[in-house]
């Protein structure tokens, strides 16, 4: 009967291995705020794509911390409203962060974390790619120019929230209608990046 029990263990293994494994390992051991490594702005002539990091998507001259530049924190008292105002201003700036139009039509490869949006059955047909782990749950959301709306060419199986992946595809920059709101801060409207992803692979440390 030794054979039988060995065989039964084999069977149990076979059955369970397919049912739980996500695209990447359970969270891959990432903690909130972790970012993925990629070689910055390097052209890979053979593969006809450019491997980039998230910083590359920020236009030159846009300072994410602009709202804080003028504040000398050492001179503020505790719970000073200027501090939280600055934080609010920062958030608003991030929400309207401009895109770099130069990326439109460029084929790139970059790593990120998945936030599934649309599914067909158990396959994901659209997701958001964000630069750091936990981007939608615990920490403030990334600036608008650090989020990519990804449309895989083929629906992806076994893709779960916060899976770490490489995506390869053509970027598209979007600018929605500028708001007619008289409020000056609505100058840009909600813009962003979109990508038709040709390949999606699990992220592995190199």
Partner 1 sequence: MSPWLALAARSAWNRRLTLGLTLAAVSLSVALLLGVERLRHDARESFALSVSGTDLVVGARTSPVQLMLYAVFRIGEATNNIRWNAYRAIAADPAIAWTIPISLGDSHRGYPVLGTTPDYFAHFRYGNARPLAFSAGRRFDGVFDAVLGADVADKLGYRIGDRIVLSHGIGGVGLPEHADKPFSVVGILARTGTPVDRTVHVSLEAITAIHLDWQGGAPVPGFSIPAQYVRKFDLAPKEITAALIGLKSRAAVFRVQRAVNDYAGEPLLAVLPGVALDQLWDVVGIAEKTLLAVSAMVVAVGLTGLVAVVLAGLNERRRELAILRSVGARPRGIFLLLSIEGLCVTALGSVLGVVLLDALTLLARPFAQSAYGLAIRPQLVSLRELRLLAAVIAVGLLASLVPGYRAYRLSLADGLSPRL
Question: By C-beta, is 4 or 74 nearer to partner 1?
Answer: 4
Question: By C-beta, is 7 or 25 nearer to partner 1?
Answer: 7
Question: By C-beta, is 64 or 116 nearer to partner 1?
Answer: 116
Q: With contact defined as beta carbons under 8 Å apart, do 160 and 143 qualify?
A: no
Residue 171 Cβ, how far from partner 1 at the closest point, in Å? 13
What is the binding site for partner 1 (CB under 8 A)? 1, 3-4, 6-8, 10-12, 14-16, 18-20, 95, 115-122, 124, 126-128, 135-136, 140-142, 144, 147-149, 160-161, 174, 176, 179, 181, 186, 190-193
Q: With contact defined as beta carbons under 8 Å apart, do 133 and 30 qualify?
A: yes
DSSP state string for 22-50? -SSSGGGG--TT-B----TTEEETTTTEE
Residue 39 Cβ, how far from partner 1 at the closest point, in Å? 25
Question: By C-beta, is 22 or 53 nearer to partner 1?
Answer: 22
Q: With contact defined as beta carbons under 8 Å apart, do 195 and 167 qualify?
A: yes
Question: By C-beta, is 7 or 65 nearer to partner 1?
Answer: 7
Question: By C-beta, is 47 or 174 nearer to partner 1?
Answer: 174
Map residue 102 onto helix, strand or coil: helix
Residue 166 Cβ, how far from partner 1 at the closest point, in Å? 20
Dihedrals phi, psi of 171, to nearest 5 degrees = -80, 150
Residue 22 Cβ, how far from partner 1 at the closest point, in Å? 9
Sign of CA dihedral 128, 133, 135, 136: positive
Residue 69 Cβ, how far from partner 1 at the closest point, in Å? 22
Residue 11 Cβ, how far from partner 1 at the closest point, in Å? 4
**If phi over 0 gives left and psi between -120 and 50 gives alpha, with beta otherwise, what is residue 70?**
alpha
Q: Which residues make beta-bridge pairs with 4?
A: none
Residue 42, token pair as written in the block? 């390097």
């Amino acid at each position: 009967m030794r054979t039988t029990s060995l065989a039964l263990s084999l069977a149990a293994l076979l059955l369970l291995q397919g049912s739980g494994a996500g695209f990447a390992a359970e969270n891959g051991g990432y903690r909130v705020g972790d970012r993925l490594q990629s070689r910055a702005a390097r052209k890979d002539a053979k593969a006809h794509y450019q491997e980039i990091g998230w910083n590359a998507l920020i236009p030159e001259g846009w300072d994410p911390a602009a709202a804080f530049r003028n504040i000398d924190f050492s001179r503020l008292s505790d719970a000073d409203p200027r501090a939280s105002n600055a934080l609010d201003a920062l958030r608003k700036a991030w929400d309207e962060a401009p895109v770099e139009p130069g990326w439109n039509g460029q084929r790139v490869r970059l790593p990120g974390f998945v936030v599934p949006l649309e599914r067909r059955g158990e396959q994901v047909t659209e997701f958001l790619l964000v630069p750091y782990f936990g981007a939608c749950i615990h920490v403030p959301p990334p600036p608008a120019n650090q989020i990519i709306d990804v449309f895989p060419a083929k629906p992806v199986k076994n893709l779960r929230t916060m899976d770490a992946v490489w995506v390869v595809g053509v970027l598209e920059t979007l600018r929605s209608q500028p708001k007619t709101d008289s409020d000056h801060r609505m100058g840009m409207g909600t813009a962003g990046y979109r990508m038709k992803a040709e390949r999606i692979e699990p992220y592995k440390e190199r």
